Structure 1
Amino acid sequence: MSRISEERKEILLRRYGSKNINSGPGKVTPPAPGGRRPGGFGPRGPRGHIGGGKPKNAMATINRLLAYIGRDKIKVLFVFACVLSSTLTNLAGSYLLRPIINNLVDAKSTAQEKISNLVLGILTMACIYLVGVICTYLQQRIMIGVSQNALVKIREELFRKIQKLPVKYHDTHTHGDVMSRFTNDLDSVGEMLNNTLSQIFSCIINLVGTVILMFVTNWILALVIVVTIPLLVYVGNLIGKQSRKYFIGQQQALGAVNGYVEETVTGQKVIKVFSHEETTMAEFEFLSDDLRQKQMKAQFFGSIIAPVMGNLGQVSFALSSTIGGILCLTANFDIGGLTIFTNYSRHFSRPINELSMQMNIIFAALAGAERVFEVMDEAPEKADPEDAIEICAEGNRVEGAQIIKGEVVLKNVTFGYEPGKTILKNINVTAKPGQKIAFVGSTGAGKTTITNLINRFYDIEEGEILIDGINIKNIKKDSLRSNIAMVLQDTHLFSGTVRENIRYGRLDATDEEVIAAAKTACAHSFIERLPQGYDTVLEGDGANLSQGERQLLNIARAAISKAPILILDEATSSVDTRTEKYIERGMDRLMKDRTTFVIAHRLSTVRNADRIIVLEHGEIIEQGTHEELLDMGGRYYQLYTGAVELD
């Protein structure tokens, strides 16, 4: 078995541990400076913190959660009435033992009177406890409905907000972090709403009611019990702090193991290629042992709180029993009163114990709720101006929309993702309707950024972008983007049939148009060979297809769109050379009568472009046709002939 160094151990704990608390099975890839997100655009942002911790503003978060519950105000009031009734019936039922016992030990009562009073007392207690059981049932049933209604509203609002957030938000937050807010954080909120709120209310009423009844029964014994309260609170808080600390460590270690398992299973081929099985097992054993140690501590402190508090309660019980016995002998304290008082003293520590145990759930829920509300409070995409117009293509007329031909002009465009860090510098590009414009250059030169700006995923700082002479800031975003079709380097297919995935490019497309689009993208032949053809259900982002086949479906999705502007971002990078030649023929048909922007590292794919623009460090250094650029003998010539390589 391979051994791992202390430095490697620290790296493992840092990479998979504290940054992945409750992150679940999704892998969170560390950021690469200046790189693009796997499924998005622009620079990666900082890695989001997932789960754990205490709430920053507990009261504000509580008030906000109560606002969601308050939408079912009548039901909530009924629940609290049931909690109050259930708790009071439990206390009253216990108190009824006093007259029953006093009657049994009363020497003046006859045997028949004692039996009749005993039967009557038992029936009365049974009726009271039955009311309590019914109230408890109603409380649980209704509260679950209220909490689930609140969760549905929160979840729906969160999802709606995600749809309205700008691309910049997704570029600066990991997918795992966003998913964690929908799953782990909302689950912790749901756990608190389901049981904790009503249980806290019940514990408080139970505690107050027990103290009142103890003073009513015998104030001397009540003072004895009250004196022990600070000790109970101190011990419970002490153990609770240790328990919280070790449970957080346990969750960190659990996240580390889950993250490592997911990553190694996903990268199993790479592990085998480089023969790292022994190293991988050693690293997993280290993480697993770390989880074992932290789980032992967490479970130990989590399990001792109940017996410790129980034993402290037994001390109170012993004190009250001893002093109560003395009072019965010296101060005419009745036996029934002593019986119920010792019963109350036995159960006195239970609500305190339950309250301390609920604090972990409350802290986790409030911290999770804060993370959910952080997303809800994010600024959405800027709203369209009131006088914004709609546009459409000639072949897809929309009533009231302005018809465009597809001319795209960038005038003196300057842009940076972050203030003070300029990515594009004074870019000027004109694309006539039907022209094919290609962008080439090194990684990070700004090629994809230009296409992001055309879609208004980001707003430019200086200059303007015009479509048929209209500033895109004056066009409705939905209308603008529906007239731009995109094929990205990273494929993404949704759960559903092949037909539904192609139709995603235009939902009202007919089956005949779907087939025509597939033929255009050279996808029809392989689709026909699938088990159910166009009705074949795709698994897990098209896992039952090859990478090239998935890209062909993405191209078909763009083909079915009637958008007059087309953006191809390394659209053929995932297919082999033979398939690429078929695609190029299909692309020629796809790009006919469309203004097309092509980003490519394979310079052979852009030779027939009307204009090739060479970018370096956010500036245009060369532009022209393939032949013109070769004659210039500059950067493009060096790239094409292999004198230098695209990095």
Structure 2
Amino acid sequence: MMGSQENKLGLRKINKIIFRLMRMHTAAFIFTGICAILSIICAVIAPILLGDAINIVIEGSARIIDHSGTIDFPKLYYTLFIIGTLYFIGNVFSYLYEYYTSKVTTDILYTLRERIITKILSLPMSSIDEKEKGSVISLFSNEMDFLREAFVSSFSKLTSSLITVIFTLVVMLTINISMTGVIILVVLLTLVVILILQRFSKRYFNKQIAVQTTATEQIEEIFSGQEVIRSLNYEEQALEEFIGNVGEWNNQEWKFKFISATNYPIMDLSSNLGYVLVAIIGGILVIQGAMSVGRILTFIEYLKNFNTPLKDVTKLLPQLQAGMVAADRIFTFLEMEEEENPSGKELKSFNDEIKFENVSFGYTEDKKIIDNFNLTVKKGEKISIIGETGSGKTTLIKLLMRLYDIDSGEITIDGVNINEYDKHSLRSFMGMVLQESWLFSDTIEENIRYGNLDASDDEIITASKQANTDDFIRKFPDGYKTLLNEAGDSLSQGQRQLLTIARAIISQKEILVLDEATSNVDTRTELLIQQSLDKLMENKTSFIIAHRLSTIRNADKIIVLGRGGVIEQGNHEELLAKKGYYYNTLNSQNENS
């Protein structure tokens, strides 16, 4: 599940957020409300006139039988014309209501999707680390689908049904209070039973959502981990685990739908019981001369108008319930605290040095990754950071970019604490080439241009030549217009890495971070990448994180990190002379090469 997101907002707060979203479209909702009311007024008046038409026929037939007259056809035709006109106008307003309600609710869902992606981009890294990819994707797919059904289908139907029930109930009371009272009593007893059942169905739906999210995460893991799964012959186990989750999903969904499916039959039974009671009471009133047959038929028509929306609502209750659970998850996510960025001060230049002074940091309070770290980096220097896995190499760079804030000490640029700068301004000075060569679902040209959105086509080609990518790009039939997916499956690992270097070159950042940029490639490709990196690092302040020590010999300063701090530091020759960690590791790698 989604970690802290499991803290429920509560129905009241969810409703407040929904109404806040609706207020953004106040005029449209007022218009749809007017259309709904006018449509329902037409539907309410028509049965009264229909009852009058029936009475005209009955009274006229009686006159024919006793030879005192005939049916008043002009009055009958006029009444039927008015009935037809009312139904036509009512349908026009009903169409306008449905159209604008669908449009507005679709706009609201668009706003929510926009807010979700904005929230993802503004969360602190600590919150991102806590989230599971599948659970966030589920917000866009499963939860948004449930919310759409609740909004577009259920909410609009619920609103019109509520207005119809109120108007119809008022007219029924004017026709006969006692019959209306009996109907209300039957409906209330039915609703009590349905609400009790809904409490059970909600419990199963929550379990269904939990298992569904787990299955979504598992699909993502299976799809992205195909190489590992197949190389380990793990297909059967992966399938078995997934089938187990899907089986539990199916079990919980069946229980939810089984209980929810009882709503309509119960409401239908209540409706039929109402017709029976009206027939009995109405028959007695007709015999007593207290009501006409036409009025009884009118009341039955209104009873149908009263029961139909109630039955529709019971059908919609599962959708509404699913929508509220989805809204809870979505709005809880949107309520998460965003990354703090209190300063608006811009970093306008980097002229002298970057300094780490007594910096300490841990991802958890009880475990320090960096402890009392000190380092001074002059502008234009190449700093290499090496060490065992988990020693804090990448963490140092994350602290410099303020992806995380340090626990104690300070990091300064030209003597100014980086906490005083706007985070976006600070990061705008830094370019990165990572071990994972992230590409976007776009053309090769646009993937390079992401480094500088204002770059011209000529600048992209120049950067490509510097990064040694121009030759292999032109071998594709579409050249720079070749479409890539996010994994860059049509490219080798080395080609993907070279593209990210071209992107970094065109970004023209003053501070560069190279995190394992030459790992996972063969020796020939490594040499090609190293040439591109050397071109990239010219006149730049560079931080190089590497396992292969052969790639960092020319660094101005090499920092060797151990658990919690610096083991040794110096340039290549100085560290060899110390015959410590660096010396031993380099010899070990040379022996294994």
412-421 vs 79-88, which deviates more? 412-421
- Pick aligned residue for 1:391 from 348, 351, 375: 348
> Does residue 518 in structure 1 map to residue 464 in structure 2?
yes
Is 2:175 aligned against 1:217?
yes
How far did 1:134 drift?
Answer: 0.9
- 2:282 pairs with 313, 318, 324, which one? 324
Say if 1:496 and 1:262 are closer, same or farther in 2 by CA, change over 3 A.
closer
Going from structure 1 to structure 2, the CA distance change for 1:149 and 1:208 (only over 3 Å counts) comes to: same
Q: Is the 8 A contact 2:133 2:217 kept in 1?
A: no
Cα distance change on mapping 1:287 and 1:447 into 2, 3 Å: closer
Superposition TM-score, scaled by structure 1 size? 0.82
Which stretch shifts more, 409-418 or 513-522?
Answer: 513-522
TM-score normalised by L of structure 2: 0.89
Residue 487 of structure 1 corresponds to 433
1:74 maps to amino acid:
A
Cα contact 2:32–2:101 (8 A) shared by 1: yes
Secondary structure of the corresponding residue to residue 537 of structure 1: coil
Displacement after TM superposition at 1:493 (Å): 1.1
The CA distance in 2 between the partners of 1:531 and 1:411, in whole Å, is: 53
- In the other structure, the counterpart of 1:641 is 587
Which of 297, 314, 319 is the matching residue for 2:272? 314
Kindly state the Cα deviation for residue 304 of structure 1 after the two structures are TM-superposed: 3.5
1:405-440 CA-to-partner distances (Å, cap 9, x unmatched) read: 463221111222334432211111112222221111
Q: CA deviation at 1:200?
A: 2.4
Deviations 1:48-106 (A, max 9, x none): 668xx9x6332233223222222332221121111112222222212223222222222
| AA partner of residue 501 (structure 1) | N
Q: Report deviation, 1:222.
A: 2.2
Paired with 2:118 and 2:251, the residues of 1 have a C-alpha distance of 42
Cα deviations by residue, 1:167-203 (Å, 9 ceiling, x for unpaired) = 3332332333333334444444443333434332322
Pairing 1:95–2:95 present: no
Corresponding residue number in structure 2 for 1:588? 534
AA in 2 matched with 1:202? S
Task: Say if 1:168 and 1:420 are closer, same or farther in 2 by CA, change over 3 A.
Answer: same
Match of 1:568 in 2: 514
**Segment drifting more, 300-309 vs 555-564:** 300-309
Q: Where do residues 285-304 of structure 1 align in structure 2 (5 Å cutoff)?
A: 285-304=243-262
Alpha-carbon distance in structure 2 between the residues aligned to 1:289 and 1:160: 35
**Contact 1:80 / 1:198 at 8 angstroms: preserved in 2?**
no
When the two structures are aligned, how many residues end up with a matched partner? 587
Percent identity, aligned pairs only, is 35
Distance 1:217 1:176, change over 3 A: same
| Match 1:333 to one of 291, 303, 326 | 291
1:451 to 397, 400, 425: 397
- Name the aligned partner's letter for residue 301 of structure 2: N
Aligned twin of 2:96: 138
CA distance in 1, matches of 2:244, 2:16: 43
Which residues in structure 2 correspond to 1:326-365 (within 5 Å)? 326-365=284-323
Q: Is the 8 A contact 1:98 1:339 kept in 2?
A: yes
Contact residue 134 and residue 213 of structure 2 kept, 8 A? no
Does the alignment pair 1:153 with 2:111? yes
- Residues 434 and 156 of structure 1: is their aligned pair in 2 closer, same or farther, counting only changes over 3 Å? same
**Corresponding residue SS for 1:96:** helix
Cα distance change of structure 1 residues 563 and 271 upon mapping to structure 2, 3 Å threshold: closer
SS in 2 for 1:495: coil
> 1:533 is matched with which residue?
479
Distance 2:492 2:412 in 1: 39
Question: How far 1:370 sits from its partner (Å)?
Answer: 4.1
2:169 & 2:452 partners in 1: Cα distance? 69
CA contact (8 A) 2:385 2:544 kept: yes
CA distance in 1, matches of 2:420, 2:89: 66
CA separation of 1:617 and 1:188: change in aligned 2, threshold 3 A = same
Aligned match of 1:228: 186
In structure 2, relative to structure 1, the CA distance for the partners of 1:282 and 1:474 (3 Å cut) is closer
**Residues in 2 aligned to 1:414 and 1:278: alpha-carbon distance in whole angstroms:** 46
Distance 1:353 1:620, change over 3 A: same
In the aligned structure 2, how far is the partner of 1:531 from the partner of 1:48?
49
Distance 1:168 1:112, change over 3 A: same
Counterpart contact for 2:139–2:330, Cα < 8 Å: yes
Matched residue, 2:37: 84
Q: 1:578 aligns with which of 493, 507, 524?
A: 524
Q: Please tell me whether the aligned partners of residues 147 and 326 of structure 2 are also in contact (alpha carbons under 8 angstroms).
A: yes
Amino acid at match of 1:221: M
- Between stretches 98-107 and 317-326, larger displacement belongs to 98-107
Residue 26 of structure 2 is aligned to residue 73 of structure 1? yes
Which residue, 476, 499, 504 being the options, matches 1:558? 504
Aligned partner letter, 1:590: L
Query: Amino acid of the residue matched to residue 143 of structure 1?
Result: T
Q: Is the 8 A contact 1:48 1:174 kept in 2?
A: no
- Provide Cα deviations, 1:142-176, integer angstroms capped at 9, x if missing partner: 22222233333343344444433333332332333
SS of equivalent residue, structure 2 residue 107: helix
Partner Cα distance (1:435, 1:543) in 2: 36
Q: Which residue of 471, 474, 477 corresponds with 2:417?
A: 471
- Contact 1:316–1:346, Cα closer than 8 Å, also in 2: no
Spell out the pairing of 1:161-240 with structure 2 (5 A cutoff).
Answer: 161-240=119-198
State how far apart, in whole Å, the 2-side matches of 1:256 and 1:485 are.
36
Query: 1:62 and 1:587, CA in 2 relative to 1: closer, same or farther beyond 3 A?
Result: same
Output the CA distance in 2 between the equivalents of 1:280 and 1:571: 32
Partners of 2:360 and 2:408 within 8 A in 1? yes
Question: What are the superposed Cα offsets for residues 490-510 of structure 1, whole Å, 9 maximum, x if unpaired?
Answer: 221122221221122222333
For structure 1, which segment, 187-196 or 280-289, has the greater mean C-alpha deviation from structure 2 after superposition?
A: 280-289
Aligned to 1:24: none
Separation of aligned partners in 1, 2:333 and 2:181? 50
Match of 1:60 in 2: 13
**Residue type at the aligned position of 1:636:** Y
In 1, the alpha carbon distance for the partners of 2:328 and 2:255 equals: 28
Alignment of 1:108-123 (within 5 A): 108-110=62-64, 112-123=70-81
Residues 464 and 250 of structure 1: CA distance in aligned 2, closer, same or farther (over 3 Å): closer
Could you tell me which runs of 5 or more consecutive residues in structure 1 were left unpaired when the two chains were aligned: 1-18, 20-45, 393-403
2:551 to 590, 605, 611: 605
Unaligned runs of 5+ in 2: none
Tell me the SS of whatever aligns to 1:391.
Answer: coil
Within the candidate set 494, 501, 516, 1:548 is matched to 494
Match in the other structure for 2:387: 441
Shift in alpha-carbon separation, 1:614–1:407, aligned structure 2, 3 A: same
Superposed CA deviations along residues 599-644 of structure 1, whole A, max 9, x for unmatched, are 1122222222222111112211111223322332322233333399
Which structure carries more helix by proportion? 2
Aligned residue type for 2:109: L
Offset of 1:123 from its aligned partner? 1.5
| SS of residue matched to 1:113 | coil
Q: Give the deviation of 1:537 after TM superposition.
A: 1.7
The CA deviation at 1:139 is 0.7
Name the aligned partner's letter for residue 613 of structure 1: I
SS in structure 1 of the partner of residue 409 of structure 2: strand
Alpha-carbon shift at residue 286 of structure 1 (Å): 4.4
Equivalent-residue separation in structure 2 for 1:378 and 1:268 (angstroms): 33
